Structure 1
Amino acid sequence: MSGSYRLILASASPARLQTLRRAGLDPEVMVSGVDEESVTAMRPVILAAILAERKAQVVNQQLAGHEPVIVIGCDSVLEFDGRAHGKPASPDEAIERWKAMRGRTGTLHTGHHVILRQRGVHQVTATGSTLVRFAKISDDEIEAYVATGEPLAVAGAFTIDGLGGAYISGLEGDPHNVVGLSLPLVRDLLTELGVAWHDLWADRD
């Protein structure tokens, strides 16, 4: 329980959960089961927002009748060469993607959709975007990294808070957004809904 609200994270991402916990919140996790591959959009930034909204909406429907509840849905995609990239489907795809990305830049978009169930249903959405500079790494480094399995589990085939952090040479924007959830952006969305961030801090003994 986070403060006086039941807080739900509509995502299976351990990194998102850890980000919220480190910020003093204690959400429950409910996985939406949305088929991400079936969703398309003209632009990667819009795709991230649509996926975040769908995840939050599915979980919200499962919570009908419960108040006060806050649902946070997120989804991340990497925009590279004008295309949206989620999780690689195979090690070979991850290797080829890294060979294309090394020494270049991409933009990590994370859609955020927040639903407040309190005297009705209120919701807002926004997308955070962070520029990512990929280091010039060798074929051996790429193959070793992909062999760990980490790139297969995350959008864009990289992390900044795990083994992949050594292969990212710089960021422009919120680093939390690259991990999968922008704390400042979520705070802004909650403020728009009339919820103070500090009211969501978990009860402490």
Structure 2
Amino acid sequence: MTSTPRIILASGSAIRREILTGADIPFEVMKPDVNEDVIKEAGRDEGLDLESLAMRLAEAKCMDIASKTNAIVIGSDQIMEFEDRAYDKPADMTAAKARLMETQGAPHTLINAIAVARNGEIVWRNLDRPTLVMRALSETEIDAYLEAAGPDILHSVGAYQIEKLGSRLFERIEGDHFAVLGLSLYPLLDFLRREGAIAF
């Protein structure tokens, strides 16, 4: 009888853990030791497009853990793209307010990349680009949101948590809900079924 392969999430992200837990996926967490700033700088120097950069980051996280185990290792990364520019997570609440003031009333894209390794090699990749259309917001509304949501929003590149109070900021979302959260669940589930890691 073939044993079910172990699954490791190579991420320190709480929301990615919640996504897998919610789908009742048996997994372990190992936080990768990856310097994202170095990878981003190298990617910019090479002229990488944002999709390629997001995938490179996901692969680096994945392979840092995959080099130490023969488990199925899931790495993921997300880059926010607004008006052809990439955005990192806001450093503080002042930066978060500036981010929301800039993006209110307009669409932006979240580039979500997943790389999966098994036996130390990348065996699967997935890329999603959901578009989020933020409604027009006044400065008063943004201030009220930031006060209510608190500093947890600094863990999000867009300065919002769509699964919580941040849902009030949007007019509509086009694309996969889980990709917005940071891990495209449905294609990942399909891959895990094919690998015999989950029964259904």
Q: Answer yes or no: same fold by TM over 0.5.
A: yes
Show the counterpart of 1:36.
36
Contact 2:5 2:197 in 1 (8 A): no
Contact 2:105 2:133 in 1 (8 A): yes
Show the counterpart of 1:156.
158
Show the counterpart of 1:11.
11
Contact 2:79 2:86 in 1 (8 A): yes
Which amino acid in structure 2 is aligned with residue 38 of structure 1?
V
Determine the C-alpha separation between the residues in 1 that align with 2:145 and 2:8: 33
Query: How far is the alpha carbon of 1:188 from its aligned partner?
Result: 4.5
Deviations 1:126-166 (CA, angstroms, capped at 9, x unpaired)? 21110111121221222233341132111222221022111
Q: Work out the percentage of aligned pairs sharing the same amino acid.
A: 32
- Taking a change above 3 Å as real, the CA distance of residues 197 and 135 of structure 1, as seen in their structure-2 partners, is farther
Query: How far is the alpha carbon of 1:195 from its aligned partner?
Result: 1.0
Q: Provide structure 1 residue ranges, at least 5 long, that are not aligned to the other structure.
A: none
RMSD value, Cα = 2.0
Determine the C-alpha separation between the residues in 1 that align with 2:95 and 2:165: 18
Query: How far is the alpha carbon of 1:190 from its aligned partner?
Result: 4.3
TM-score normalized with structure 1 length: 0.84
Segment drifting more, 121-130 vs 171-180: 121-130
**Secondary structure in 2 aligned to 1:51?**
helix
- Taking a change above 3 Å as real, the CA distance of residues 197 and 128 of structure 1, as seen in their structure-2 partners, is farther
TM-score normalized with structure 2 length: 0.86
Contact 2:7 2:197 in 1 (8 A): no
Show the counterpart of 2:127.
127
Contact 2:192 2:198 in 1 (8 A): no
Show the counterpart of 1:22.
22
Show the counterpart of 1:62.
68
Segment drifting more, 97-106 vs 157-166: 157-166
Find the partner of 1:74 among 73, 76, 79. Answer: 76
Contact 2:66 2:118 in 1 (8 A): no
Structure 1 ranges of 4+ moved more than 4 A = 188-191
Structure 1 position 45 matched with structure 2 position 45? no
Contact 2:66 2:121 in 1 (8 A): no
**Secondary structure in 2 aligned to 1:97?**
helix
Show the counterpart of 2:186.
184
Query: How far is the alpha carbon of 1:189 from its aligned partner?
Result: 4.3
Show the counterpart of 2:143.
143
Query: How far is the alpha carbon of 1:28 from its aligned partner?
Result: 0.7
**Secondary structure in 2 aligned to 1:157?**
coil
